Structure 1
Amino acid sequence: MNLPVGNAAAQAAFAAALGGAKLHHAWLLAGPEGVGKAAFARAAARRVLARAGGLGGSPPGLAVPDDHPTARLMEAGSHPDFRVLARLPKDADKPDQDLARSITIAQVRTLQPMFATAPAMGPARVVLIDAIDDLERGGANALLKNLEEPPAGTLFLLVSHAPGRLLPTIRSRCRLLRFERLSDGEVATVLRGQLPEAEEDEIAALVAAADGAPGRALRFAGLDIAGLDAAIARIAESGDPGNAERVKLAKALAGKAAQARYEAFLDRVPAFIAGRAQTRSGPALKVALDAYAAAQDLAGAARGLSLDAQGTVFEMAGIIATLR
C-alpha cells in the first residue's frame, strides 16, 4: 500500500496517538490545499479500521497490507464503517461536471442512521469530511452535536484548508494536526506516482507550478504548463510592444476546448508575478506588487463574473507587460 508522501511529522504524531491508550475522537487536518491531507486521512482511516478488524503483525506507522480485508473494501468503496462527506455533483448524471457549492445539512443527516447502530466490522468507524470548509452553516451546527457527543467508536477526520474560518466550537472539539507544503523532491515523487507516463520535462514544469502542493500541480497535468509559463515570461521580458504575443496567447486560450488551459493561465500569472516580485526592490518592486494585485483582481473577476476569455487573457497579458 502506498502511504502519503511528505509531512512525516504529522504522520508520526497520528501514529503515536493511535498507539496510545485512547485516540481522540476528532482530528482537524489543517494546511494548504493540495498537500495531501485527504490522502493522509484515507490512510489513517484504513489503519484505524484495519486495527479494529484485526490487523496482525503490527506493521509500522499507518501501513496496512494491500491484501487485508479493510484495504480491499476501502479500495472498492464498500467498507460499511467508512463514510466520506464531500461536495456532490450538481447533476447526478454528470459526476465529472461542476460540484455543488457546499456540503449540505442533508448530507450530514445521512450519518444519523449509521450512528444509531454499532460498527459492522469491529469497534470503530471513521467519518471523513473533505473539506469541512465546504460545510454549510446548518450542516456545521448538525455536525457539532456529533462532535460534542461522539457516537461510540467513531473517529472524525476533518480536512480544512482554512481552519480559521470554521466555527470556534468545532475547532475546540478537535485535535489539530498541521500539514505543510512538500519539498520539490516530494512533489516530484507524488507526480511520478500519479502520472507514470509523463516525461521528465513535464514533471519538472509541474513541480515548478505546484508551489509545494502536488494536488495543485495535478490539475495542470497535460496542459503544457511549460508552454504557458514560457509565453508569460516572453511578454514580461519584452513588454510585447506590438501586442503580437498577447494577441496570439489570447486566441490560443479562447474557446471551450481551451477552458482548462485558460483556468491554468489565470492561476499561473499571479504566481509568476509573485516570483518576480521576490527578486526586486525599490520602484521595480512596487511595479510588481501593483501588477500582482491587478492580476489577482482580474483573475477573481474572470471566474466570478465569467468574463470573456479572449479579452481577459489580452488584459492579463497587458498587466504582465508592465513588469518589463
Structure 2
Amino acid sequence: MTLPLGNDAAHAAFADAMASGSLHHAWLFAGPEGIGKARFARAAAMRMLADAMTPGALPPGFDVPEDHQTRRLIEAGSHPDYRELVRMPKESDKTGTELARSIPIAQVRALLPLFAMKPSLSPRRVVLIDAIDDVERPGASNALLKNLEEPPAGTIFLLISHAPGRLLPTIRSRCRLLRFDPIGEGEMRGIVGAQLPQADDAEIAALVRAGNGSPGRALGFAGLNLAAIDSALAGIARDGDRSNGARVKLAKALALKAAQPRYEAFLDRAPAFIADAARNRQGERLRTALDSYDTARALAASARALSLDAQGTVFEMAGLVAKLAA
C-alpha cells in the first residue's frame, strides 16, 4: 500500500515505535482532514498484522506484498483480527451514499465479542476508528473508553481525529499523540496534478488554494471549475461591484439546480477567500475583512442548516466580498 505524500516525520516516528517492540496500545493520529491520516493508519495496520503473522519476513517499511495472506484478507474485508469503525450509510438512504451523523454505541459494543477471544492469526489485532470525532457522546465514547483503559491483550487502537481538542480528555490521555501537518504547496500541486492530469494550471492553483494543505479537500472540489469562482470573487473584491452586475451574474449561475455542487463549493470558498485577504491587511481594512469573514462563516452555516435560497445567499455572500474593496 503506497503511503500518502508528506508527513515523513510522523511516518518515521510510528515506524520507530513498531520496530522498538514496545508499541503503545492506543494512538491518536491528529491533524486536518484530508491530509492522509486514515490512509497511513490503514497501511500501518496492515503492516503490523503482517509482521505479527510472519515475524522478520518483511523488509523495513510499511509495504506488504500483494500475495501476503494479511493483505489478501484485509482487502477482502475478512481479516478476523482487524476491525474498522466508520460512519455507516443511513438506513433511509437507498443509494448508500449518505452517511449517518455519528458512530453509535451499537457499533462500539459490536467489538465486545471480538475482545472476548484471543486474536486468531497472530498475537495481535488492530482496531481503526475513522474518525474518533464521530463517535457518539456520551454513550459510545464511554464504552470505547473502557477498552482504552483496559486494553484487550494484543490489541492496538488507531484513532483518527480531525479536531483532537474536542475529544474527551480521558480518551486523549489514554493515547499516544502523533501529529500530521498540512501538506506543503509544492507537494499539493504534485498530488493534485497527478490525480487530475487534464486540469489546467489555473484550476490546479485554485484547487491547491481551496485545499489549504489538504489534498483530500482539494480533490473534493475537482470538476467544479473552482478557478472561475475564484476569478469572480477576485473581481468583486478588486472593484467592489458598485453596479451589482457581477454579484447578480454569479448568483444566477450558482442558483441553477445543476450547479448545486458548485454552490456548495462556493459556500466553502467565499469565507476562505475573505480570510486569505485578511492576512495582508492592517488597521481598519483588517477589521473590515475580519467582520466580513465572521459574517460569511455564519451565513454559510445557516445556508446549509436552513436550506436558504441559493441565489439570495450567493448575492449576500458576494456583497461581503465586495466590502474588501472599500
TM-score by length of 1: 0.94
* Aligned match of 2:66: 66
Q: Which residues of 2 match residues 89-128 of structure 1 at below 5 A?
A: 89-91=89-91, 93-96=94-97, 98-128=98-128
Q: What amino acid maps onto 1:122 in structure 2?
A: S
CA distance in 1, matches of 2:113, 2:243: 66
- Provide the aligned length of Structure 1 versus Structure 2: 323
CA distance in 1, matches of 2:105, 2:197: 39
Classify the secondary structure of the residue corresponding to 1:159: strand
Q: Is 1:169 the equivalent of 2:170?
A: yes
* Aligned match of 2:149: 148
Q: What amino acid maps onto 2:159 in structure 1?
A: L
CA distance in 1, matches of 2:117, 2:190: 41
Q: What amino acid maps onto 2:25 in structure 1?
A: H
Give 1:57 shift.
4.5
Instruction: Classify 1:250/1:85 alpha carbon distance in 2 versus 1 (closer, same or farther; 3 Å).
Output: same
Q: Percent identity?
A: 66
* Aligned match of 1:20: 20
CA distance in 1, matches of 2:56, 2:226: 46
* Aligned match of 2:185: 184
CA distance in 1, matches of 2:225, 2:320: 22
Q: Which residues of 2 match residues 1-324 of structure 1 at below 5 A?
A: 1-54=1-54, 57-91=57-91, 93-96=94-97, 98-137=98-137, 138-324=139-325
CA distance in 2, matches of 1:142, 1:314: 47
| Residues 11 and 61, structure 1, Cα contact 8 Å, conserved in 2 | no
| Residues 203 and 227, structure 2, Cα contact 8 Å, conserved in 1 | yes
CA distance in 2, matches of 1:265, 1:255: 13
Instruction: Classify 1:88/1:297 alpha carbon distance in 2 versus 1 (closer, same or farther; 3 Å).
Output: same
- Larger mean Cα displacement after TM superposition, 127-136 or 55-64: 55-64
| Residues 4 and 43, structure 1, Cα contact 8 Å, conserved in 2 | no
| Residues 130 and 161, structure 2, Cα contact 8 Å, conserved in 1 | yes
CA distance in 2, matches of 1:135, 1:15: 27
Instruction: Classify 1:314/1:45 alpha carbon distance in 2 versus 1 (closer, same or farther; 3 Å).
Output: same
Instruction: Classify 1:67/1:207 alpha carbon distance in 2 versus 1 (closer, same or farther; 3 Å).
Output: farther
Q: What amino acid maps onto 2:290 in structure 1?
A: L
| Residues 31 and 161, structure 2, Cα contact 8 Å, conserved in 1 | yes
Q: What amino acid maps onto 1:82 in structure 2?
A: Y
| Residues 235 and 321, structure 1, Cα contact 8 Å, conserved in 2 | yes
Deviations 1:254-278 (A, max 9, x none): 1432221111101111111111111
- Larger mean Cα displacement after TM superposition, 156-165 or 82-91: 82-91
Q: What amino acid maps onto 2:262 in structure 1?
A: R
TM-score by length of 2: 0.94
| Residues 32 and 179, structure 1, Cα contact 8 Å, conserved in 2 | yes
Give 1:243 shift.
1.3
Give 1:192 shift.
4.0
Q: What amino acid maps onto 1:313 in structure 2?
A: V
CA distance in 2, matches of 1:85, 1:3: 21
Give 1:198 shift.
4.1
What is the aligned-residue RMSD (CA, Å)?
1.7
Unaligned ranges ≥5, structure 2: none
Classify the secondary structure of the residue corresponding to 1:107: helix
Unaligned ranges ≥5, structure 1: none
Q: What amino acid maps onto 1:133 in structure 2?
A: D
| Residues 58 and 64, structure 2, Cα contact 8 Å, conserved in 1 | no
Deviations 1:197-229 (A, max 9, x none): 544543332112111111111210111111110
- Larger mean Cα displacement after TM superposition, 151-160 or 74-83: 74-83
Classify the secondary structure of the residue corresponding to 1:156: strand
CA distance in 2, matches of 1:70, 1:176: 26
Q: What amino acid maps onto 1:107 in structure 2?
A: Q
